[in-house]
Structure 1
Amino acid sequence: MQATAYTYDPETRSGSVLLDDGTPVPFDAAAFDAGGLRLLRPGQRVRIELDGPGTWAADRRITLITLQTL
């Protein structure tokens, strides 16, 4: 799934992304570290993987965040 980086705190390595419908979804340091990123800037397009019950992305947890490449 694709999203746009919205917030990022380099001290905690956590932040949030905005889904294409505008829904904010937070991510933690484990998801950030799993993607191998070193930095994330607001506005960057990212690819996320979600885990957890439910069909709504906001009810699920981001397990991986990486930069979206063409």
Structure 2
Amino acid sequence: MQATAYTYDPSTRSGSVLLDDGTPVPFDTAAFDAGGLRLLRPGQRVRIEYAKGEAESAGNISLVTLQTF
């Protein structure tokens, strides 16, 4: 699923993304580290994945990485 980076705190390596419908969804350090990124800037398009078996509405993001075309 695609989203847009909304917030990012480099000291905790966590933040939030906005889904295409405008819903903010938080992500934690583990999700950021799983994507292999070093930095994330608000406005960047990202690809996110949810933890297996979790409902998307729960906001349990398991991976955040840059969206490439």
Shorter-chain TM-score: what band? over 0.9
In the alignment, which residue of structure 2 is the partner of 1:31?
31
TM-score normalised by L of structure 2: 0.93
Residue pair 2:46, 2:65 contacting (<8 A) in 1 also: yes
| Percent identical | 79
Worse overlay, 43-52 or 3-12: 43-52
Residue pair 2:54, 2:60 contacting (<8 A) in 1 also: no
| Superposed displacement of residue 18, structure 1 | 0.2
Mind listing any 5+ residue stretches in structure 2 that lack a counterpart? none
| Superposed displacement of residue 59, structure 1 | 1.3
In the alignment, which residue of structure 2 is the partner of 1:44?
44
In the alignment, which residue of structure 2 is the partner of 1:58?
57
Count of aligned residue pairs for this structure pair: 68
| Superposed displacement of residue 61, structure 1 | 0.3
In the alignment, which residue of structure 2 is the partner of 1:12?
12
Return the alpha-carbon distance in structure 2 between the equivalents of residues 36 and 5 of structure 1. Answer: 15
TM-score normalised by L of structure 1: 0.91
Q: CA RMSD in A?
A: 1.0
Match of 1:38, SS state, is coil
| Superposed displacement of residue 60, structure 1 | 3.4
Residue pair 1:8, 1:40 contacting (<8 A) in 2 also: yes
Detail structure 1 runs of 4+ shifted over 4 Å in the superposition. none
